[in-house]
Amino acid sequence: MPAFAVNRIAVLGLGLIGGSLLQRLAGVADVVGYDNDPDTRAAASSVPGAVISDTVADAVRGADLVVLAVPLTAADAVLAQMSHYDGLLTDVTSVKAPARELARRHCPDASWVGGHPMAGTEHSGFAAAFAALFDGAAWVLCLDEDTQLDAWLTIADLLTGLGARVVPSTSEDHDRAVARISHLPHLAAAGLAEGAADGALGPLALSLAASSFRDGTRVAATRVELMAAMCGNNASALGEELDKLIARLIEAREILLSSSPEAGLAEWFIPGHEVRAAWPTTAGPLRTVPAERQALLEIGRNGGWITAVQGNAVSAT
């Protein structure tokens, strides 16, 4: 069994993710919330069963697990207020390498396990939070060389209990994967939206815009600060994926200049079409896997996830 007991959980930051987690945990666990915004604290006080603290120190005192749910830009300031904390520490930011560095620097005694629930929407803030946000959502938990396996399993146990699909990954693989499926779509969305409005043709184009535009640009409505932080903090991995996208688009550009663009594009579209038509993949059969580092990482690498932690084994698909 995991060596860590979780009797009290502190959620620091009560935006969409933290607020939803507070609502989900309230009533089923001993949970304390904190946010630096007084209005958010006041709103969160109405959640039955949740205690709201006015300071980071008060929220963290007596907690066995701290969930850092502030944007990466605010993480530095919050972690600096809890440098003596020595329990379990996880987060929800969308880039794992910089969060890990901050946690190591400010809270060297804490047992850090980087986390990332894949459950954002284009809305932000406590007003958009809801307890069911994580039902069936993938929640990455990073299992790096220096991650304590017991700490990892304890948090995985908690999160699978909340209905999340826990995906084991290294921080590096996570950052490269989300560059592809989250950060790059934000760049493409903003680029498409900006281009649609360009010049004298903009009003006509935007009035003709229908579902292709609506969906292809939806995430560009996300707050600029959030997009800049997640993309900017993952610059290296995102840059590599962006290079590949640009290369693919340049290939399409050359086809458009060729003598038979329709035939060329009929080839060009195939790989992307096949990937999207086959997504999302359905879950494989449930199986039991030993709770060992390499075996766990293998589950994530193969596109699977963990549905429950059972002693020294996990249920995985």
Instruction: Kindly write out the interface string for residues 92-111 of this chain, putting x where it contacts a second copy by CB under 8 A and - elsewhere.
Output: --------------------
Subset of 248-287 contacting a second copy (CB under 8 A):
248-250, 252-253, 256-257, 260-266, 268-273, 275-277, 279-281
Does the protein bind a second copy through residue 39 (CB under 8 A)?
no
Does the protein bind a second copy through residue 244 (CB under 8 A)?
yes
Q: How far apart are CA 88 and CA 6, in angstroms?
A: 9
Select the span of 48-56, 63-71, 74-82, 178-186 touching a second copy (CB under 8 A).
Answer: 178-186
Enter the DSSP assignment of 112. E
Gyration radius of the chain over CA positions? 21
Does the protein bind a second copy through residue 77 (CB under 8 A)?
no
Least distance to a second copy from the beta carbon of 176, Å?
6
Which of 9, 159, 167, 306 binds a second copy (CB under 8 A)? It is 167
Name 124's Cβ contacts closer than 8 Å, sequence gap at least 6: 15, 16, 222, 223, 226
Q: Which is nearer to a second copy, 157 or 241 (CB)?
A: 241
Select the span of 12-20, 59-67, 118-126, 306-314 touching a second copy (CB under 8 A).
Answer: 118-126
Residue 50 sits at φ, ψ, to 5 deg, of -100, 140
Does the protein bind a second copy through residue 156 (CB under 8 A)?
no
Q: Which is nearer to a second copy, 32 or 162 (CB)?
A: 162
Q: How far is CA 249 from CA 245, 259, 276, in A?
A: 6, 18, 17
Does the protein bind a second copy through residue 189 (CB under 8 A)?
yes
Select the span of 5-13, 42-50, 104-112, 235-243 touching a second copy (CB under 8 A).
Answer: 235-243
Least distance to a second copy from the beta carbon of 294, Å?
15
- Strand (E) or helix (H) holding 290: strand 287-290
Q: Which is nearer to a second copy, 57 or 248 (CB)?
A: 248
Other Cβ atoms within 10 Å of 43 Cβ, number: 18
Residue 239 sits at φ, ψ, to 5 deg, of -60, -40
Q: How far apart are CA 131 and CA 24, in angstroms?
A: 4
From the list 71, 69, 61, 106, the residue with the least C-alpha distance to 91 is 69
Q: Which is nearer to a second copy, 48 or 247 (CB)?
A: 247
